[in-house]
Amino acid sequence: MDQGQYIDRDCTTLSRHVLEQLNSFSPDAQDISALMNRIGLAGKLIARRLSRAGLVDDALGFTGSVNVQGEEVKQMDLYSNSVFISVFKQSGLVCRLASEEMENPYYIPENCPVGRYTLLYDPLDGSSNLDTNLNVGSIFSIRQQEGNDEDGTASDLLQHGHKQIGAGYILYGPSTLLVYSIGTGVHSFTLDPSLGEFILADENIKVPDHGPVYSVNEGNFWQWDESIRDYIRYVHRHDGYTARYSGALVGDIHRILYQGGVFLYPGTVKKPEGKLRLLYESAPMAYLMEQAGGQASTGTEEIMDVVPEKLHQRTPLVIGSKEDVTLVKSFIQDRE
């Protein structure tokens, strides 16, 4: 008798998948697998809180403080940030965390002699969507810890995106999904709430070379450079395009990953560098998109090549299907 016959599908969990991808049970592979598992745990805790947010006192709304970016902080931003810190305490894996919600990196001293990785993350991206019960996400980027960072400036983090050894996001939508890459393609997992496990959904996701979606905040039209306006005029005049913009990067990128197209957050008159932060928003998304066969650019430079000057640096972002990103770049570069 086939002893597996009572299992209705092949339940590949996240940690098993990571080990299979690295094709080994070496200490390094076990560390990365454990690290991904912890990120998954953070995702489960945040998803659980989100699903009950309207029912729990103080889960929604603002804290009354402003973060290092000058943005008003929501209760869920703070909760999500602290979840990532607590899941990595005593893990022995990550010595340092850096996030959108913290001005300086956060050290976990008890991990530091052994923790060989730094986790950069946006704990709750698109949190303004919470006001209307719409999708939000978490974004993460994993780097090898380099140096002791004795002056606490995290200058070793100020390196290009090729230094990432893994990246991904968690999408809190109708289901909770985790999408990750550790350099062996892009894979997605769905949280099965009854098991409390992320179960493999799609392996080796490839973004179509071209797609119908253009995803941009057109309310900024008169704030953009003429080249971006020209691209949008081009899209308006040609068949086959459709606009989709949710106000939360993770959901918009996820749609493009599956259906193709392009997401843009260009510089504006008020914010010449755009809005999105390089180290924990644009660079991890660029890593994923390249692994899926797509592209990511500032318009003039590959996102993965950008060397930041500071931890919370912003960059313009054009990301998605190869042909669509190339088209946007051609408008930008023609005007230069």
Residues within the annotated binding site for substrate?
Answer: 125-128, 217, 245, 275
Q: In 3-state terms, what secondary structure has residue 335?
A: coil
Binding residues (CB under 5 A) for Mg ion: these are: 122, 125
Neighbours of 167 (CB within 10 A): 27
Nearer to ligand AHM, 122 or 324 (CB): 122
Those residues whose C-beta lies under 8 Å from the C-beta of residue 234, and which sit 6 or more positions away, are 327, 331
Q: What share of the chain is helix, strand, coil (3-state, %, to 5)?
A: 35, 25, 40
Work out what residue 185 binds among Mg ion, ligand AHM, none; the CB cut-off runs from 5 to 8 Å by kind: none
Q: In 3-state terms, what secondary structure has residue 208?
A: coil
Cβ atoms of 157 and 118 within 8 Å: the answer is yes
Q: Which amino acid is at 193?
A: P
Nearer to Mg ion, 93 or 264 (CB): 264
Q: Which amino acid is at 303?
A: I
The nearest distance, CB 336 to Mg ion, in angstroms, is 29
Work out what residue 217 binds among ligand AHM, Mg ion, none; the CB cut-off runs from 5 to 8 Å by kind: ligand AHM
The nearest distance, CB 249 to Mg ion, in angstroms, is 7
Contact range with ligand AHM by CB under 6 A, out of 2-10, 51-59, 111-119, 121-129: 121-129
Selected binder of ligand AHM within 15, 38, 111, 122 (CB under 6 A) = 122
Cβ atoms of 182 and 168 within 8 Å: the answer is no
Work out what residue 248 binds among ligand AHM, Mg ion, none; the CB cut-off runs from 5 to 8 Å by kind: ligand AHM
Nearer to ligand AHM, 16 or 312 (CB): 312
Those residues whose C-beta lies under 8 Å from the C-beta of residue 111, and which sit 6 or more positions away, are 88, 89, 90, 91, 92, 93, 94, 95
Work out what residue 71 binds among ligand AHM, Mg ion, none; the CB cut-off runs from 5 to 8 Å by kind: ligand AHM
List binders of ligand AHM among 135-194 (CB under 6 A): none
Q: Which residues pair with 202 in a beta bridge?
A: 188
The nearest distance, CB 62 to ligand AHM, in angstroms, is 13
- DSSP assignment letter at 210: S
The nearest distance, CB 139 to ligand AHM, in angstroms, is 9
User: Which residue, among 79, 50, 49, has the nearest Cα to 63 in the 3D structure?
Assistant: 79
**Residue for token pair 């006001």:** 131
Annotate each residue in 212-231 with x if it binds ligand AHM (CB under 6 A) or - if it does not, as one string. Answer: -----x--------------
Selected binder of ligand AHM within 15, 80, 127, 188 (CB under 6 A) = 127
Selected binder of ligand AHM within 20, 71, 230, 323 (CB under 6 A) = 71
The nearest distance, CB 276 to Mg ion, in angstroms, is 7
Neighbours of 73 (CB within 10 A): 18
Work out what residue 247 binds among Mg ion, ligand AHM, none; the CB cut-off runs from 5 to 8 Å by kind: ligand AHM
- DSSP assignment letter at 203: S
Instruction: Give the Cα separation of 330 and 190 in Å (integer).
Output: 37
Binding-site positions for Mg(2+) read: 100, 122, 124-125, 281
Annotate each residue in 72-111 with x if it binds ligand AHM (CB under 6 A) or - if it does not, as one string. Answer: ----------------------------x-----------
Distances (CA, A) of 127 to 73, 76, 134, 250, 308: 9, 8, 9, 11, 25
- DSSP assignment letter at 218: G
Annotate each residue in 244-273 with x if it binds ligand AHM (CB under 6 A) or - if it does not, as one string. Answer: ---xxx------------------------
Instruction: Give the Cα separation of 99 and 280 in Å (integer).
Output: 7
- List of residues contacting ligand AHM (CB under 6 A): 71, 100, 122, 125-127, 217, 247-249, 275
